[in-house]
Amino acid sequence: MVNAIGTETEKESRLRWWKDAKFGMFVHWGVYSLLGRGEWVMYASKIPVSEYEKLASEFNPVEFDAKEWVDVARRAGMKYIVITAKHHDGFAMYRSKADPFNIVDASPFGRDPMKELADACREAGIRLCFYYSHVIDWHHPHALHDTYNNLWDYELEKKAFYSYWNNKAKGQIRELLSEYGPVGLLWFDTSGGLSRKESEAIVAMIRELQPDCLINSRVSHWPGFGDYQSKGDNEIPMYGEETRPWETPMTLNQSWGYSTRDQVWKTADALVRKMVHIVSKGGNLLLNVGPTELGVIPEKSVERLEEVGAWLGRNGEAIYGTGESPFPYELEWGAVTVKPGVVYLHVYNGNWPNGELVLNGLKNNVRKAYALADPERRPLDVRQEYRAETDHHTMAVRVPEHAPDDYVSVIALEIEGEPDVDRTLVPQASGSLKADLALADIAEGSGTNTARWSFKAVEPGLFDVVLVSFKKSGAVWEREYDHEVSVEAAGRSVACVPKEDRVVEDSISCQHPYQEIHSVIGRIAIEAPGTHTLVLRSRQAKPKPAGPEIWQAAAVKLRSVKLVRV
């Protein structure tokens, strides 16, 4: 296992460039682009192999320009590109000797776009990485997944996985690592059913061919594989949910492969806020584009990426090479990233404060504060206080009347020493508090689970108790919350069967196909300052699964408890 997965030191060395990069381009492009209905169209429409192969003979992306694609990524501020060398349809987007079903041998295009991208990336200083569907392959008669198989052409009982695995999958992975120069990472997908032995074998082969090539967690469904965790599609974790490096693969709209019907584009404002939010929690954002059948990145995608890139051009020092927020909770007004001696406060413009920006819990002395958007970096007034009776630190920065930048405005704090913060859950500027389930001590019971947190009350007050849940499209709320949920804080209790009281339309963490739902459980009074216990009892208070959580499969997920000052 040491040879297959590597030591922690080796892993950290391989990961350094990726952790500093923060932002990459995902590209879903293949024969399926001809149909304009996404990359799962073959499976969704049960297109026979004989018919799908005819699409390859029509696939001629004559407008593909590798240098233009790489330039789009560069202008967006992206540091690496991950492209579908082979998706689930089995069609290789490069010249493969292991299978003639590829863009050079089976299409009139006759060129190898992966080779052209490798050359363009090398010239631009961007790392080229490959997505490879190693288990699902609807074109091959012997590919075998635990769920998503081609059963309209082939019989499940006649599949011999070893034939596909040894003759195609391993051969193509070897080709990708042998013929295109240094590969930044291999991005695997949907490993359901792959044995531990084969998982170890494929990792060992990669390490032998390119020791520095990163491997994502989806290489195997067995725990511990991969250099970093790929979250579920479009999934942003709660604070503290991941214990190893992670990324969020996200789409610019709601599709991965090109779709003529999907025009639900994320705004530049939403993209910048989500990127900041992800980076502040220690993650990378892998943002997807779906080029057309002619090889063109859609105009709306380019427009959005350029807007994000312009923001990064002004604020990149607060993103690239930064560390995650030292605060163990999400902040009401934005997010935090850090570098040695500097704390960056990313303030979402919609939450721009009137007069002062307040941050509780920072213990360091602030030497200077300024807005990154200010080319002269003129100092802003800072006020710091400490209340010994509650062991509470407060810092307030006098900010300009209007947000100085687009989307997210960054205030830099130059501090003495390394960031030192109160790791207790403390109230924010509004007096409210949020406790993520990932940070709770959870005890499982026969019918009800119990989650516990410790929190600090600075002042007495009246609070609404609010549950934050993510609900999947089409889920029946009453089926998931068919029981009473109770919350206890500072010795006072409230309970009810949660309702869908409010849908958050512009959630920072929740994305399609989920919606963020707030449910008011009741109202409690906290009568005295001090350290108290917060207790939640619900069947939805579930601990994190031991294995890699690849998709948000649950219909409803309980994410947090909030105490909202009335």
Mean pLDDT by 10 residues, the chain (566 residues): 60 94 98 98 98 98 98 98 98 98 98 98 98 98 96 97 97 98 97 94 97 96 92 88 92 96 94 97 98 98 98 98 95 96 97 96 97 96 95 96 97 97 92 93 93 94 97 95 96 97 93 94 95 96 68 82 96
Report the pLDDT value the prediction gives residue 5, as an integer from 0 to 100: 53
Model's pTM, two decimal places? 0.95
CA angle 198, 202, 205 (to 5 degrees): 135
Provide the b/e sequence for 177-191 (b: ≥16 CB within 10 Å): beebeebbbbbbbbb
Report the pLDDT value the prediction gives residue 3, as an integer from 0 to 100: 43
Report the pLDDT value the prediction gives residue 1, as an integer from 0 to 100: 39
Question: CA-to-CA distance for 326 and 473, rounded, in angstroms?
Answer: 33
Other C-beta atoms closer than 10 Å to the C-beta of 329 total 22
Provide the b/e sequence for 486-497 (b: ≥16 CB within 10 Å): bbbbbebebebe
φ, ψ at 442 (rounded to 5°): -115, 125
Report the pLDDT value the prediction gives residue 7, as an integer from 0 to 100: 74
CA angle 331, 337, 338 (to 5 degrees): 130
In 388-529, the DSSP E strands lie at 392-398, 408-415, 433-436, 441-443, 449-457, 461-472, 485-489, 492-496, 502-504, 514-526
Query: What CATH topology corresponds to 334-415?
Result: Immunoglobulin-like (2.60.40)
> 408 with 304: CB under 8 angstroms?
no
Largest separation between any pair of C-alpha atoms in the chain: 76
| CATH homologous superfamily of 2-318 | Glycosidases (3.20.20.80)
Output the six-digit token pair for 110: 């006759």
Q: Which helix (DSSP H) or strand (DSSP E) does residue 273 occupy?
A: helix 268-280
CATH number of 433-565: 2.60.120
Crossing angle of helices 113-124 and 66-76, in 10° steps, is 40
Task: Tell me the residue type at 299.
Answer: E
Task: Tell me the residue type at 332.
Answer: E
The number of residues making up the chain comes to 566
Report the pLDDT value the prediction gives residue 281, as an integer from 0 to 100: 96
Other C-beta atoms closer than 10 Å to the C-beta of 52 total 23
φ, ψ at 445 (rounded to 5°): -120, 180
> 323 with 357: CB under 8 angstroms?
no
Kindly write down the DSSP assignment for every residue of 79-141, as one continuous string. Answer: -EEEEEEE-TT--BSS--SS-S-BTTTSSTT-S-HHHHHHHHHHHHT-EEEEEE-SS--TTST
Omega before 328 within 30 of 0, i.e. cis: no
> 111 with 117: CB under 8 angstroms?
no
Report the pLDDT value the prediction gives residue 356, as an integer from 0 to 100: 97
Output the six-digit token pair for 172: 């193509």
For the chain, the structural domain boundaries read: 2-318, 334-415, 433-565
